[in-house]
Structure 1
């Protein structure tokens, strides 16, 4: 039984007022490409196994000396150019791999882009970070704190995954994606609808880096400084929570599943994408996919998927789009918008 069969869809009228409007989109991937064959030579696996289990063919990874802020700056500048603006009032950076534990990376990113003295802060909701970041940006606009906000999702998971762990080394890639949000009308193309955000800290240990924080400052072993994930449990929860969040945000927006033209959800694993589609009772073709080329890019996943789908023509102006994600924390989130006419850079 799918969620679509058991969850009703009452139409809920939405109030008029100001809205956060997506008006620019930019992305950046590090130049180095790591195909499955390179990982297979190092680990006890094969290209066929990786593709069958994850749907991934290759991923991009940073070279030594390249950090998260480098990717964030490139994506941020491209988003500003796409929006045809050189100024925003705030920068929100979603990342799990900041340049340093302290201070936040966002102020440095803002400075390097040329956005001195603007508000800038980090958000850590792992793979849901970009959705949390967009909600934060929309909140700043709704509160009158900002007219424009640059929201960036950037991660370099290759720096925290164990290169000898088949379960994580084959899945994650590095990248960055950014959007510019501006104050506008809720009736415009690109206007973000309501958000659905949630968390479950009882399952925090399912996705984590065991050591390096105040709870466990020094790793007892090398393994404790690397990212870990309980794959089977995460697989089930990711499908259930992303499908449930999609249903929730559609109810808030007064929409039904049949109203959605495209789903752009976190590219965690091809089987998870299929599972969400099945639980919602939706055809797999309505789900944007770019995981084959970039892998799981954590907080950068959703904007990278939006960009590739827009460039290919899969996303077109006026389409009803649902964005969704699931990540460590555990966290999840979603929102809806009608796709705007924007130039991707």
Structure 2
């Protein structure tokens, strides 16, 4: 019998510096009404000079420890989902390990953009189920402000910085399972619609800009997000034998409200049961789901025994879903 995995602690962090819609009005040709109508975002948080993705991760772990005092010196592995690591190597996860002195922990960064955090949970659950490890720290974190082109009015209104952390631990074999079902899908041929190039100047046969900034074809990504993503969510729930009505809370990646509203109509999961922090944090990519989870846990919406659907989707174009029985 495989070992069940469960989330035993959660924390998050967003920087103090606020970038409001009024601030953006002074930077590009836009206005508050236009931004709110199209995205639902009023402000986003921006890392200060000297704050990096690892800095945000470390603060998220500190928040986790304040809210759920637990030993972490025996953590077996640290996984950081990020598209904006401090550097290629050492990994951001290794920098987190150094801060907290988890000497026996393996470390790795995972790059799956907005699907990264759920993909990391897939891996953590599998490592625990297979008996390889018993305690894994999983983080989703981004400093997207460092790769945002603030002359591009179509993208700079969207993105913010933040981090979230969860502790995933092995339960007892006879305990009720928390990890119920997982799902993944990728449309790699359309990867050029949302990317940040490093060394290559092409994705498949498509030429791309290697300027180091995030590039998005907003219309193409919107069409994909409101068609392919709900289609895959429906297939996932069918395979799991779960109806939309049975989902207590839907915690998706938070790209913008127009996408979330369209997804609600097409999946049958109402917005009232969708957790989002988008208005105050903007699109934080891999960090958006753990930030939203932490808020829902803190304000009492999330309760033990509830059925929770996590679903990340974005650059790749990649999707990752996880159906959880909430235990925290």
Under TM normalisation by the shorter chain, which class is it?
over 0.9
* Residues 192-203 of structure 1 aligned to structure 2 (within 5 Å): 192-203=179-190
| 2:52 aligned with 1:67 | yes
Q: Which residue of 1 aligns with 2:211?
A: 224
Q: Write the deviation string for residues 272-329 of structure 1: whole angstroms up to 9, x where unpaired.
A: 1111110012322111121001000000000011111222222222221111010111
User: Structure 2 residue aligned with 1:136, among 89, 107, 123?
Assistant: 123
Q: Write the deviation string for residues 63-108 of structure 1: whole angstroms up to 9, x where unpaired.
A: 1121100001111233355262223100000000011123322112
Separation in 1, partners of 2:195, 2:132: 33
For structure 2, the residue ranges without an aligned partner over 5 or more in a row are none
Q: Is the 8 A contact 2:247 2:269 kept in 1?
A: no
| 2:238 aligned with 1:251 | yes
* Residues 232-271 of structure 1 aligned to structure 2 (within 5 Å): 232-271=219-258
Structure 1 332/222 Cα, relative in aligned 2: closer, same or farther at 3 Å?
closer
Q: Which residue of 1 aligns with 2:260?
A: 273
Q: Is the 8 A contact 1:17 1:186 kept in 2?
A: yes
Q: Is the 8 A contact 2:256 2:283 kept in 1?
A: yes
Give the secondary-structure state (helix, strand or coil) at the position aligned to 1:166: coil
Structure 1 187/251 Cα, relative in aligned 2: closer, same or farther at 3 Å?
farther
Give the secondary-structure state (helix, strand or coil) at the position aligned to 1:325: strand
User: Structure 2 residue aligned with 1:43, among 28, 33, 45?
Assistant: 28
User: Structure 1 residue aligned with 2:39, among 31, 54, 59?
Assistant: 54
User: Structure 2 residue aligned with 1:294, among 281, 286, 296?
Assistant: 281
Structure 1 52/31 Cα, relative in aligned 2: closer, same or farther at 3 Å?
same
User: Structure 2 residue aligned with 1:177, among 124, 140, 164?
Assistant: 164
Give the C-alpha shift of residue 209 in structure 1.
Answer: 1.5
Q: Which residue of 2 aligns with 1:91?
A: 78
Q: Which residue of 2 aligns with 1:124?
A: 111
Separation in 1, partners of 2:186, 2:307: 26
Q: Write the deviation string for residues 155-184 of structure 1: whole angstroms up to 9, x where unpaired.
A: 000000101111111100000001111112
Give the C-alpha shift of residue 251 in structure 1.
Answer: 3.1
Q: Is the 8 A contact 2:3 2:130 kept in 1?
A: no
Structure 1 178/119 Cα, relative in aligned 2: closer, same or farther at 3 Å?
same
For structure 1, the residue ranges without an aligned partner over 5 or more in a row are 1-15
Give the C-alpha shift of residue 195 in structure 1.
Answer: 0.8
Q: Is the 8 A contact 2:201 2:210 kept in 1?
A: no
Structure 1 297/310 Cα, relative in aligned 2: closer, same or farther at 3 Å?
same
Separation in 2, partners of 1:85, 1:111: 16
Separation in 1, partners of 2:69, 2:241: 29
| TM-score between the two structures when normalised by the length of structure 1 | 0.88
Give the C-alpha shift of residue 224 in structure 1.
Answer: 2.3
| TM-score between the two structures when normalised by the length of structure 2 | 0.92
Give the secondary-structure state (helix, strand or coil) at the position aligned to 1:42: coil
| 2:287 aligned with 1:305 | no
Give the secondary-structure state (helix, strand or coil) at the position aligned to 2:259: helix
Q: Is the 8 A contact 1:189 1:339 kept in 2?
A: no
Structure 1 337/281 Cα, relative in aligned 2: closer, same or farther at 3 Å?
same
Separation in 1, partners of 2:300, 2:292: 12
Structure 1 133/80 Cα, relative in aligned 2: closer, same or farther at 3 Å?
farther
Structure 1 111/248 Cα, relative in aligned 2: closer, same or farther at 3 Å?
farther
Give the secondary-structure state (helix, strand or coil) at the position aligned to 1:274: helix
Structure 1 83/252 Cα, relative in aligned 2: closer, same or farther at 3 Å?
farther
Give the C-alpha shift of residue 48 in structure 1.
Answer: 0.5
Once superposed, what is the RMSD of the aligned Cα atoms?
Answer: 2.1
